[in-house]
Amino acid sequence: MADEKKLFKVTIDNISVEVEPGTTILNAARQIGGDIVPPAMCYYSKLQGSGGKCRTCLVKVSKGSEADPRPMPKLVASCRTTVMDGMEVANITSPEVIEARKGVVEFLLLNHPLDCPVCDQAGECHLQDLSYEHGVSATRYEFKRRTFDKIDLGEHIQLHMTRCILCYRCVFTADQLTEKREHGILGRGEHAEISTYIKESLDNDFIGNVIDVCPVGALTDKTFRFKNRVWFLKPVDAHRNCENPKCCGKTTLWMRGEEVFRVTARKDEYGEVEAFICDVCRFEKKEAKDWVVEGPRKISRTSVISQGHYVGTVKPQETIQKVLDGRQPKLLMDIHSVSQVNQPNVDLSKIDGPAHSDDFNKKGVQ
């Protein structure tokens, strides 16, 4: 087996894996999978040149390689650092990394509007996930947050610059998927923004992919805007014979009943699309009859999108009794007997208009 490629052994958080030379630490970690995969807000494996900017994927290289075991002096961006044979990396086992990541999350949230309640990205937002995992509950920033005027990018794409974390993914997308990039990063430093400078709509067969690659709610689908919450929709895999030769025609439809609310590319567990789709598939094929449905899209159970989508699951009945040595659980306090509002005989949905304390009085209920 002389022509067999030599693989590099890399150990991440004490778990070893053998990978091809040229693999980045992040991708090696993804091969291992699980908790030790560093989060990535700007890196996108399908976009060349992406990564290195957000700094959420920083890790500690405690041993450079077998040949040169010196540790790297600074934390490195795992998405852009390639592995060496014998490299040892600490991600979640390094307090230094955890601390730095906390800092990065705080920086990313510093000027983020946190308008999740009105943001279409909520439920599938990487910044939301990241803050949940690594953020703190309160901000230490006492100043006015940076805001930008809304920019119109045409009938399909909504740009909310205020939410942007400047990952540059949409710029790479336009560079690599469309014929001519018409938007870019303008300004410098804190004032840098995604814009077209002179307002014009973005139109190109593949520009809709900027919505899929956007890790936050900065670029959203106008045809889906405020229509529904992603967790109320049922994602199904579907395909159609797309006329565009560059489009794979394989998508995920986000449905409620027979209604198609939006079409996206199929995304993997890291939120990356499996293959890019064209704008016709995304924006114009909004009827179930346009598509051949393959079946439900597998969504991580822990995702809010899975909420209420598990059917036929069996609730374990015996567990509690089993751990309590066969005893029945003892009710410490019957909430209904002490609560003014939490009444089992009051169906909240039956109350017209806003609920009033009278609605919960025994008198008020018939």
Partner 1 sequence: MGRKLLLDKAHIEGIRYYDVYRKNGGYAAAEKALKSMTTDQVLDEVKKSGLRGRGGAGFPTGLKWSFIAKPEGVPRYLVCNADESEPGTFKDRYLMEFLPHLLIEGLLISSYTLGANATYIYIRGEYAWIPDILEEAIAEAKKAGWLGKNIQGTGFDLEIYVQRGGGAYICGEETALIESLEGKRGNPRLKPPFPAVKGLWQSPTVVNNVETLAAVVPIINIGGEEYAKIGVGKSTGTKLISACGNINKPGVYEIDMTISVEEFIYSEEYCGGIPNGKRLKACIPGGSSVPILPANLLLTTAKGEKRLMNYESLNDGGFATGTMMGSGGFIVLDEDQCVVRHTLSLARFYHHESCGQCSPCREGTGWMKRVLSNLENGKGKMSDIDLLWDIQRKIEGNTICPLGDAAAWPVAAAIRHFRDEFEWHVNNPEEAVKRNFGLAHYADPLPVPQPVA
Partner 2 sequence: MIQFSEEKLNKVKEIMARYPEGKQKSALIPVLHLAQEEFGGWLSSDTMDYVASLLSITNIEVYEVATFYSMFNMQPVGKYLFEVCQTGPCMVNGSDQIIDYIKQKLGIGVGETTADGLFTLKTVECLGACGYAPMMQLGKHYREHLTPAKVDAIIDECRAAVKN
Nearer to partner 1, 165 or 263 (CB): 165
Element containing residue 158 per DSSP (H, E): strand 157-159
Q: 110 is in the binding site of which of partner 2, partner 1, none (Cβ under 5 to 8 A by kind)?
A: partner 1
Q: The tokens of 233 are what?
A: 């929709």
Find the shortest distance in angstroms from Cβ 143 to partner 1. 5
Contacts with partner 1, residue ranges (CB under 8 A):
51-55, 58, 74-75, 77, 80, 99-100, 103-104, 106-108, 110-111, 140-141, 143, 165-166, 185, 187-192
Among residues 87 and 194, whose Cβ is nearest to partner 2? 194
Residues 47, 169: contact at Cβ < 8 Å?
A: yes
Residue 197's binding partner, choosing from partner 2, partner 1, none, with beta-carbon cut-off 5 to 8 A by kind? partner 2
Nearest distance in Å: CB 191, partner 1: 7
Of 53 and 227, which CB lies nearer to partner 1 in the complex structure? 53
For residues 175 and 224, the answer to whether their CB atoms sit within 8 Å is no
DSSP per residue, 93-110: T-HHHHHHHHHHHHHHHH
Q: How far is the CB of 195 from partner 2 (least distance, A)?
A: 8
Using the minimum distance from each CB to partner 2, give the nearer residue, 49 or 187. 187
Amino acid in the structure at residue 202: L
For residue 25, give the DSSP letter. Answer: H
Binding partner of 196, given partner 2, partner 1, none, CB within 5-8 angstroms per partner class: partner 2
The residue ranges that bind partner 2 (CB under 8 A) are 180-188, 195-198
297 binds, among partner 1, partner 2, none (CB under 5 to 8 A by kind): none
Pairing of strands 8-12, 87-90: parallel
Q: Which is nearer to partner 1, 141 or 361 (CB)?
A: 141
Quote the CA–CA distance of 274 and 270 in Å, as a whole number: 10
Cα 250 from Cα 267, distance rounded (Å): 11
Q: Nearest distance from residue 174's CB to partner 2, in Å? A: 9
- Residue pair 60/96 in contact (Cβ under 8 Å)? The answer is yes
Comparison of 124 and 193: residue with beta carbon closer to partner 1: 193
C-alpha to C-alpha distance for 220 and 150, rounded to whole angstroms? 13
How is residue 16 annotated by DSSP?
E
